[in-house]
Chain A
Amino acid sequence: MEKGTLLYEGKAKKVYQTNNDDIVWIEYKDSATAFNGEKKASIAGKGRLNNEITSLLFSKLQALGIDSHFIKKLSATEQLVKKVEIIPLETVVRNFSAGSFAKRLGVEEGAKLARPIVEFYYKDDALGDPLLIEDHIEILQLANSDEVAILKEKALQVNTVLSELFKELGIRLVDFKLEFGKDENGNILLADEISPDTCRLWDDKTNEKLDKDVFRRDLGNLTDAYETILARLRRPISMYKVKVFVTLRESVLDPQGTVVKNSLHSLNYSEVSDVRIGKYMELTIDKSDRPVDEVVKDMCERLLANVVIEDYRYEIEEAVAQ
């Protein structure tokens, strides 16, 4: 495959022709832009990070049955993709409130939405990428209603897969933007990129932002955040640390708890109204074909707790073998 002439240069990528009419050569740039181009910077390494992350995510999606324009990664900053005609819509999926949604609707940032929602924005820099309702899309002939339905369905599919994938890496997929294109047969195909430039990714525990908001809001070093995402994507989860808590059921009198409560009262902790004594277990479980959640539940029901008199709960943490 040979790199041909430059077809198009955008804010983040250059697109070159190849000697195959159906395939184009993408080069990721080191530039960062935000607020519709008002804030700009050149950040060394960003092109590489977005190319690596996008390549990994598109590969994982393909492995899970979600096709895209992605063909293969060529180098640290380049990839080959199928040539598509980009539909001028940004398809946004939101799982948690953030960004323009939080601002426009006054929903506190970080609040979990009752279900994932899909929004469309008009890809038009001059207009500032405005939010569209479906009638707008139809009347502007950006896509017909069948196509809008397909975009929604595909976007939600991608969301299911990516949310789960990031969750396993200890990352919350807050929201993300997708772009779709049409191939020569008119089939709608996932295109563009999926990277911290196009996703809001928060650390599940610390809520640390690991995406372009770091740049938008000057929260620190952008490449550090993107490196974190890349490192976690590359690191295969090999085991889980599971904490199991077993206590006597609420309805069952706990003789030990009662004695301890009385003892605390005699030490003047009169505010203690109840004590339940239970067991705490730490399990290390290797990753297997069976969903870990199912495995743990099964173990609790069969052995770790006696459900006649005991309740259990557990916490599962992903871990990587050292």
Chain B
Amino acid sequence: MKFAVIVFPGSNCDVDMYHAVKDELGAEVEYVWHDRKSLDKFDGILLPGGFSYGDYLRSGAIARFSNVMKEVVKAAEAGKPVLGVCNGFQILLEAGLLPGAMKRNESLKFICRSVELQVENNKTMFSSAYESNEVITIPIAHGEGNYYCDEETLAKLKANNQIVFTYSGSNPNGSLADIAGIINEKGNVLGMMPHPERAVDELLGGADGLKLFQSIVKQWREAHVVNA
């Protein structure tokens, strides 16, 4: 399975993402610059955190119009796993691949610390390696992670089990329904504010994020290498 780490001007978690996939997960991975016109050779797409285009106008607002995003939409439509972390989540929202929008944190502060997440849905290709309702520790680092959507959308997210991760205990940013990560209806596009790629090694304070990547690979193997 081959992953692409999409790099925009201003991405700054791309190296962590690359490291997590290559060194900790042990899968193939390549950096892909934002002007790339094809993602055909990749099996999974990773949109890392950072401040693409300086977060000008709104987080993710400019990045969504880059060349590579057309390909990301195509990959999503083709059913490939697409993971957006932090700024990557914001880009997926702006691109309309996930519903809702991001507001500034309720405290108006940039928050950088580890938080506890509850796995709300472990029946997705991103969370199957977790136990149901498992509480995991993953770092967050954002100023705009205050997820918002209208009531109708929220009801739909709940009804379809699209809320994959919620903040457990205290909600750091004021997000609606404690939402930390949501998946699309089809189940192959996940956006989350916490950084699983920063929690892949006990040396770095925890490895709870690794299972997320392992889930993706597991699902892909089951689908593609079943007869190998």
Do A303 and B61 touch across chains, with their CB atoms under 8 A apart? yes
Complex CA gap A157/B154 in Å reads: 50
Do A255 and B57 touch across chains, with their CB atoms under 8 A apart? no
Digit string of A247-271 for contact with B (CB within 8 Å is 1, else 0)?
0100111011001000000000000
Do B58 and A306 touch across chains, with their CB atoms under 8 A apart? yes
Do B148 and A252 touch across chains, with their CB atoms under 8 A apart? yes
Knowing that A279-B57, A306-B94 are A-B contacts, what are 15 other residue pairs whose CB atoms are under 8 Å apart, sorted by A's residue number? A248-B103, A252-B103, A252-B148, A255-B103, A255-B106, A256-B104, A256-B108, A259-B108, A303-B57, A303-B65, A308-B101, A308-B148, A308-B149, A308-B150, A309-B148
Complex CA gap A306/B150 in Å reads: 13
Digit string of B53-93 for contact with A (CB within 8 Å is 1, else 0)?
00001100100010000000000000000000000000001
**A304 at the B interface (CB under 8 A):** yes
**B10 at the A interface (CB under 8 A):** no
Instruction: Give A189 Cβ to nearest chain B Cβ, in Å.
Output: 53
Complex CA gap A259/B108 in Å reads: 9
Complex CA gap A256/B57 in Å reads: 16
Do B101 and A309 touch across chains, with their CB atoms under 8 A apart? yes
Complex CA gap A43/B146 in Å reads: 69
Residue of A nearest to B107 (CB): A255
Instruction: Give B189 Cβ to nearest chain A Cβ, in Å.
Output: 17
Q: How many interface residues does A have (CB within 8 Å)?
A: 13
Contacts A252-B148, A256-B108, A259-B108; A306 near B101 (Cβ below 8 A): yes
Q: For B108, what are the chain A residues with a Cβ–Cβ distance below 8 Å? A: 255-256, 259
Q: For B105, what are the chain A residues with a Cβ–Cβ distance below 8 Å? A: 255
Q: For A255, what are the chain B residues with a Cβ–Cβ distance below 8 Å? A: 103-108, 146, 174
Digit string of B137-154 for contact with A (CB within 8 Å is 1, else 0)?
000000000101110000
Residue of A nearest to B149 (CB): A308
Q: For B150, what are the chain A residues with a Cβ–Cβ distance below 8 Å? A: 251, 308
Complex CA gap A253/B146 in Å reads: 11
Q: For A304, what are the chain B residues with a Cβ–Cβ distance below 8 Å? A: 57
Digit string of A284-322 for contact with B (CB within 8 Å is 1, else 0)?
000000000000000000011010110000000000000
Enumerate 18 A-B pairs (CB-CB under 8 Å) in ascending A order. Answer: A252-B103, A253-B103, A255-B106, A255-B107, A255-B146, A256-B104, A256-B108, A303-B57, A303-B65, A304-B57, A306-B61, A308-B93, A308-B99, A308-B100, A308-B148, A308-B150, A309-B103, A309-B148
Digit string of B38-62 for contact with A (CB within 8 Å is 1, else 0)?
0000000000000000000110010
Complex CA gap A252/B148 in Å reads: 8
Complex CA gap A252/B146 in Å reads: 11
Residue of A nearest to B104 (CB): A255
Complex CA gap A252/B151 in Å reads: 11
Q: For A252, what are the chain B residues with a Cβ–Cβ distance below 8 Å? A: 103, 148
Q: For B107, what are the chain A residues with a Cβ–Cβ distance below 8 Å? A: 255
